[in-house]
Amino acid sequence: MPTLTIDGHTVHADHGQFLLAACRSAGIQIPTLCDHPAVEPYGGCRLCVVDVTRPEWNGWCKMVVACLFPVEDGIVVHTASTRVIEVRKVVLDLLLARCPDTPLVRDLAARHGILATSYVRNQQPTDCILCGLCTRICDRMGMSAIGSVDRGAGREIATPFREPPAACIGCLACAEICPTGFIRYESGTARRKIWDKDFDMLRCPRCGRSHITVAQADFFAGRGGVPRSYFEICDVCKRKDLAVAATRLACATETPAR
Amino acid sequence: MGDAMSGYSCVDHGLVDAILERYPREEPSLIQVLQDVQRAYNFLPCEVLTRVSRELGVPLSKVFSVATFYKAFSLTPQGRVIIKVCTGTACHIRGAPLLIEEVQRRLGILPGGTTEDAAFSLHTVNCVGACAMAPVVIVGDKYLGNAKAAGLAAHLTRGE
């Protein structure tokens, strides 16, 4: 079991664990924007930088992104050294130049003492911080309907050919995971629209609530193993069924004992 | 069919078939396949990208990501001869703007544009690493060092 020192505390980490998780398990908070338990680490936002050193390195240290750095035995980690804070400030300053009106970015920057960007303010402010959570969750869902398009300053999250994506099933995972609300959608009882693609909603046969899209039900059923009817009933009704069944079971087992 | 503007509709699928034959049908082949497609068509037609995505089993969003990431790929038809005018510092100082103007005047296209007969495309590039012979113009595979506006005409002919 690797043993490391984080900000003066001795921490026992698991093999293969990433430094960010080790820091968090030790109760040390590190700001991140692209980390999420549902997807693999990505190292995109560069906010979780920390200094890593070893006693035998004579004061030399290297800066790594904690979310992608596997823990090593004997390392000494500084999560809030002057150098680390400076780098985080630069990252936030740049991010604030890109997204000057985004509350999440503004708040995080303000907490680091940056109230206005020192760079040139983006002429076309966007709420997209390019954290890649949407594309990663879409990959994870098995659709890969959206991706990162272009490069450099022009990079954006978009659908293939910037058209309504054929692969999208309207699950809204991208919009739900988006930390800034950049991905817009409309969802009503009959129709849903995201990425300019229209979807028909499916109503729960029990309660009539529109809970998923027809495309979602088709996709889940198409994976096999579970009949389509399972996905047609909404989660609330499924839980009710389960509660009823559990109660019946409990009563049936309790009665003869008395 | 019929969408004359895009030029995407009249794609010869035989070319794609031949390209796909050369590589294993798997994700790592993607860039090589796209490079060959770019060479064969002078751009990456939408429907070919869709086909490549299907054949290699790579999501279309990933194919589009790669196709838009690399400068070597283009989603719009390119001319048979691509003219690159270097606008790096040395070339800029030694007259690159004049060269761009000359090409624009002769071919009637702006940087990023392609002539109507698809003979030439004009691009400006940031530095080709040949500052010693600035200003540099690359016509097709030919590097023209110490280029002069007056001397460009000879390289911009459509004849064989």
Facing B64 at nearest CB: one of A139, A143, A149:
A149
pLDDT value, residue A224: 82
pLDDT (tens digit, 9 = 90+) per residue, B25-47? 999 999 999 999 999 998 999 99
* CATH class as words, domain A3-80: alpha beta
Q: Domain ranges in chain A?
A: 3-80, 133-243
Local structure of residue A168 (DSSP, 8 states): -
C-alpha to C-alpha distances, A197 to A123, B2, B37, B58, B116, nearest whole angstrom: 28, 25, 29, 22, 34
Residue showing tokens 């150098």:
A83
User: Which of B51, B64, B69, B75 to probe the A interface (max A CBs under 10 A)?
Assistant: B64
C-alpha to C-alpha distances, A49 to A30, A62, A78, A144, A157, nearest whole angstrom: 9, 10, 10, 29, 24
Whether the Cβ atoms of residue B131 and residue B116 lie closer than 8 Å to each other: no
Judge whether residue A95 has pLDDT over 80: yes
pLDDT (tens digit, 9 = 90+) per residue, A15-36? 999 999 999 999 999 999 999 9
Q: How confident is the model at residue A225 (pLDDT cuts 50, 70, 90)?
A: confident
Delineate the domains of chain B, giving CATH numbers in brackets: 13-69 (no CATH), 81-155 (3.40.30.10)
Judge whether residue A121 has pLDDT over 70: yes
**Lowest-pLDDT range, A8-17, A96-105, B4-13?**
B4-13
Query: What's the average model confidence in pLDDT over A65-83?
Result: 96
pLDDT value, residue B160: 45
How far is Cα B80 from Cα B128, in angstroms, rounded to an integer?
A: 20
Judge whether residue B5 has pLDDT over 50: no
Judge whether residue A196 has pLDDT over 50: yes
Contacts of A161 in chain B (CB under 8 A): 46, 64
**ipTM score here?**
0.88
Residue percentage of chain A with pLDDT more than 70: 98
Judge whether residue B57 has pLDDT over 50: yes
Judge whether residue A120 has pLDDT over 90: yes
For A164, which residue in chain B has the nearest alpha carbon? B61
pLDDT (tens digit, 9 = 90+) per residue, A128-157? 999 999 999 999 999 999 999 999 989 999
CB-based contact, B59 to chain A, within 8 Å: yes
Instruction: Supply the mean pLDDT for chain A.
Output: 94
SS3 content of chain B, % helix, strand, coil (to 5): 45, 10, 45
Q: Which residues pair with A9 in a beta bridge?
A: A6
pLDDT value, residue A258: 52
pLDDT value, residue A257: 53
pLDDT value, residue A256: 59
How far is Cα B158 from Cα B148, in angstroms, rounded to an integer?
A: 20
Helices (H), A26-171: 82-98, 103-111, 133-141
Instruction: Measure B101 CA to nearest chain A CA, in Å.
Output: 26
Contacts of B68 in chain A (CB under 8 A): 149-151
